[in-house]
Structure 1
Amino acid sequence: QQQQQQQQQPTILLVPHGAFCDSGPLVAQAFWGYLPKDVDTIILIGTEHSSTSRNKIACSDHEKWRTPLGDVVVNQPLLEKVKQFIPVDRGAFSNEHSVENQLPFLQDMLDGQSWDMIALSVHGNVEFNDLTLISRAAKSLSELLQTVEQKVAIVATSDYTHAGPFYGELPRRTDQSISDYIRSKDLPFLDFLCEPECLPPTINVWTIGRTISMCGLGATLLTLELAKNLGRDKAKLLRYAVGSEICDRGLQDQTGFATLTFE
């Protein structure tokens, strides 16, 4: 019975949202390898990069999301329940790409299947006082997900170190490449998140996460809290790469990408 309950728990993935040519192969590999093909509803947790939103955590009340592959409808009954503890703020999504970048992969993989979504957003700039807000939202959402009969998956998104002239972050050593520099920043953080036998305290992840230029720290923290509330003990790194290792476009600016699941 315990094993059956574990199987009914949502799949949780943390994936990139960078350019398709750079981070797309990591996203596709994670979805095809770990996302159930019979999923009913996907909770997408995006990153807000700008400062246009009034809320650190927000949900979208759009009825559908459109890509060149078609429309993805929103689970309105579930959204109405989410709106009771997460405010609606379209400004958090108006200039964003982190949720939309996941949709073509999902539409391709789930082609012919009936599925819907809910879009959440967490601001990338997380202050200490925001940790309580994130914890409360995760508690309410995890309790809600325990009551739904549909098969649910959680897909959150973050990129990691952004380095190069455009980002204003460069290696201090002149003999260190941008790619090696990014790895030197990202891998200790990912090791900290994934190596322990149990998920680390959220405040420690927040503290270390602020030392690298990851854009989705807020989405990562919300996902970590959800994973704990849903009985997950460990984060597993599926794949890591710097963008130039996937598609070398000769750019001076590069980003670190990773995919993780929670077990």
Structure 2
Amino acid sequence: MIRLPAVAGSFYEGDEDKLKKQIEWSFLHPLGPGKIPQVPEQKGRRNNLFFIVPHAGYMYSGPVAAHAYYYLVSEGTPDTVIILGPNHTGLGSYVSVWPKGKWKTPLGEVEIDEQIAMDLVKETEMIDIDEKAHLYEHSIEVQVPFLQYFFDSRFKIVPIVIMMQTPEVSEYLAEGIYRIIQKYNQKDIVVIASSDLNHYEPHERTLEKDSWAIEKIEKLDYKGLFNVVEEKDVTACGYGPIMTVLILAKKFNKKPYILKHATSGDTSGDKSSVVGYLSVRFGD
């Protein structure tokens, strides 16, 4: 059961060599961290368990995403990466996991952690096994080549697409993931919340709206974030995944560290209608 890439050649380069160069460009870009991280030979205890990472085309959001991956990579190869993304397509269930097999990109194939995927289905009682939600969804797919560039196929993923983005769903999901991390405490598990922030407004207005969301993220206030999205029309697309990692961060006593905030206007030069991007790590 192989999930083929849906946005290779559009959101990121479809050719292996060009894709590797595009990822390197993301790290070395003026908005990026400025250098390419090295995977350590000796892995210690992971400090940063959770991340918020944008998921637009690499030419727009790659440099901001690179900040999160800089920290993830610097702490060594994870065993499993649970990637939470919003549902842009409207296909599938309220919360959908791709249960087994492999995901393919121009950089190769990555195995699904079937054991953890199926345990999460049992633990939460709200995640459905549903491939339809994943077939054309980009929010999880665009994270995979960044991981493959550094870790090749030495890690597994659990892809979860969230359509029903409410505090209650995030609470159930966070509790399920919390139990899984406790149960598999010998495994190095990382959770990525894949989300962009405000969409398609002028640069300055987007910075203002994004700041309202970032303020709630810095306080780990997931209900406050939901209210900002609902009441102030901050059009973050992955607020469900973000709420989930905010709850997890609180459960594991991890603090939020804002790594980089920018908009598509900062990379494209067109600031008339932009999308906001944010990288956050949650560590000690």
TM-score tier, shorter chain, comes to 0.7 to 0.9
Deviations 1:120-165 (A, max 9, x none): 1112x63xxx42232122112201111112111111111011124x
**Cα drift, residue 219 of structure 1:** 1.0
Q: Report the counterpart of residue 9 of structure 2 in structure 1.
A: none
Structure 1: give runs of 5+ residues left out of the alignment: 1-5, 165-177
The one-character-per-residue Cα deviations of 1:2-58 (angstroms, maximum 9, x if unpaired) are xxxx94576111100011001011112221233432211111111112322232x22
Equivalent residues in 2 for 1:177-256 (5 A)? 178-194=202-218, 196=219, 199-200=220-221, 202-210=222-230, 211=232, 212-232=234-254, 234-248=255-269, 250=270, 252-256=272-276
Which residue of 135, 138, 141 corresponds with 2:171?
135
CA drift at 1:241: 0.3
Relative contact order, CA 8 A, sep 6+: which one is greater? 1
Q: Distance in 2 between matches of 1:54 and 1:47?
A: 12
- Tell me the matched-pair count: 233
The one of 138, 143, 147 equivalent to 1:97 is 138
Task: Give 1:97 shift.
Answer: 0.3
CA contact (8 A) 1:40 1:152 kept: yes
CA distance in 2, matches of 1:22, 1:160: 13
Q: Matches of residues 40-189 of structure 1 in structure 2 within 5 Å?
A: 40-55=79-94, 57-84=95-122, 85=124, 86-111=127-152, 114-123=154-163, 126=165, 130-148=166-184, 149-164=186-201, 178-189=202-213
Are the structure 2 counterparts of residues 64 and 27 from structure 1 closer, same or farther at C-alpha, using a change threshold of 3 Å?
same
- TM-score of the pair, normalised by structure 2: 0.76
1:255 is aligned with what amino acid? V
Deviations 1:38-80 (A, max 9, x none): 211111111112322232x221124110001100111122222
CA distance in 2, matches of 1:71, 1:46: 19
Shift of 1:108: 0.6
Q: In the alignment, is the contact (CA less than 8 A) between 2:50 and 2:249 conserved in 1?
A: yes
What secondary structure, in the 3-state scheme, does the structure 2 residue paired with 1:72 have? strand
Cα deviation code 1:217-237 (max 9, x no counterpart) = 1111111122222232x3221
TM-score (norm 1): 0.82
Residue in 2 that maps onto 1:33: 71
- Unpaired segments ≥5 residues, structure 2: 1-43
Q: CA RMSD in A?
A: 2.0
CA distance in 1, matches of 2:144, 2:227: 31
Deviations 1:191-213, CA, capped at 9 Å, x for gaps: 2321x4xx22x222210122201
* Cα distance in 1, alignment partners of residues 272 and 117 from structure 2: 41
Q: Percent identity?
A: 23
Deviations 1:157-186 (A, max 9, x none): 11011124xxxxxxxxxxxxx111111111
- SS of 2:76's equivalent? coil
